[in-house]
Amino acid sequence: MTRLRGLYAITAPELTPGKELLTACAQALAGGARLLQYRDKQASPALRLARARQLRELTHAHNALFLINDDPALALACQADGVHLGQGDTPLSEAREMLGAEAIIGITCHASLALAEQAMAEGADYVAFGRFFHSYTKPGAPAATVELLQQARSAIALPRVAIGGVNADNAPALINAGADMLAVVHALFGAQDIHAAARQLAELF
Ligand SMILES: Cc1ncc(COP(=O)(O)OP(=O)(O)O)c(N)n1
Ligand SMILES: Cc1ncsc1CCOP(=O)(O)O
Ligand SMILES: [Mg+2]
C-alpha cells in the first residue's frame, strides 16, 4: 500500500486549545488519518518544538506519517517524516538539502498545473491543489476546481492532495477526480466527535 494515500489531518491548535491538541490528534489518528501535519502559525518556537516532539511520538504509535508545515528546521529537529512547503516558503531544493533524499516534501500548487509540473521536476514527493470549497481556516486561499484535479490525474505523476473546505459530503467528488489524499482541518478538528469525523473521511479510501 502506498504511503501517500488517505486522510491527511492538519492541526489547528486554535480549534483544540491548550493541551487538548494531543488528544485531538490522537482521536484523528485512531479514526484512520494516515498522515498528520503540524500547522501552527501562533505558538512560540519553544512550544512548537515541544508540540512537534509529542506529535512525532504519537504518529509513530499510530504508524502514521508526520509532516511539519512551513519549517524544515523544525522537521529536522523533531525527526518528522517531511515538510509541507507553500510557494512563499523555503525553496524545495534548500529543504531537500536539509532533510535528505528520504524526506517527504509536499508543495502547494494552488490551482496551477504549471506549478505542479515544476514541483515534480524539482523532486517533490506530492503536490497539493486547493482550496476546492469555502475554507474556514484559510478563506482567502486561491480557488481550484474539480476539473483541474481531473487534468492533474493524467498530467502529474505524483500523489495529489486536495485541500480547502473538504468534508465528508464533498470528499467523494475529489477522490473520484483523482485526489490521493484529502487534507482536512475544520471538518476534522472542528467536529464534535473528531474520531467519528476521521473515520467517516478515512473510510472513503
Ligand atoms: C497538504 C497541504 N496543502 C496545502 C497547504 C498550504 O500550504 P501554504 O500554501 O504554505 O499555506 P499555509 O498552510 O502555510 O498557510 C498545506 N499546509 N498543506
Ligand atoms: C492551509 C490551506 N491551504 C489552502 S486551504 C487551507 C486550509 C484548509 O483548512 P480547511 O479544511 O478548514 O478548509
Ligand atoms: Mg506555508
The domains of the chain are located at: 6-189
| Residue 85 Cα to ligand 1 middle (Å) | 7
Q: Give the pLDDT score at 7.
A: 98
pLDDT value at residue 16: 83
Q: What is the mean pLDDT of the chain?
A: 97
What is the average pLDDT across 18-35? 93
Phi, psi of 107 (to 5 degrees): -125, 135
Higher pLDDT, 57 or 15: 57
- Which pLDDT score, from 0 to 100, does residue 2 have? 77
Q: Is the CB of 165 under 6 A from ligand 2?
A: yes
The interface pTM score, or ipTM, of the predicted complex is 0.99
pLDDT at residue 154 tops 90: yes
Mean pLDDT for 84-109 is 98
Residue spans of alpha helices (H) in the chain: 20-30, 45-61, 72-77, 92-99, 113-121, 146-155, 171-176, 186-189, 194-202
Q: Nearest C-alpha to atom 3 of ligand 1 is from which residue?
A: 128
Cell reading at 35: 498522515
> d(Cα 5, Cα 2) in Å, to the nearest integer?
6
Is the C-beta atom of 33 inside 6 A of ligand 2?
A: no
Nearest-atom number in ligand 2 for the CA of 137 is 12
**Residue 1 scores a pLDDT above 80:** no
As a CATH number, domain 6-189 is: 3.20.20.70
Tell me how far apart the alpha carbons of residues 53 and 195 are, in angstroms, rounded to a whole number: 22
pTM of the full predicted structure?
0.98
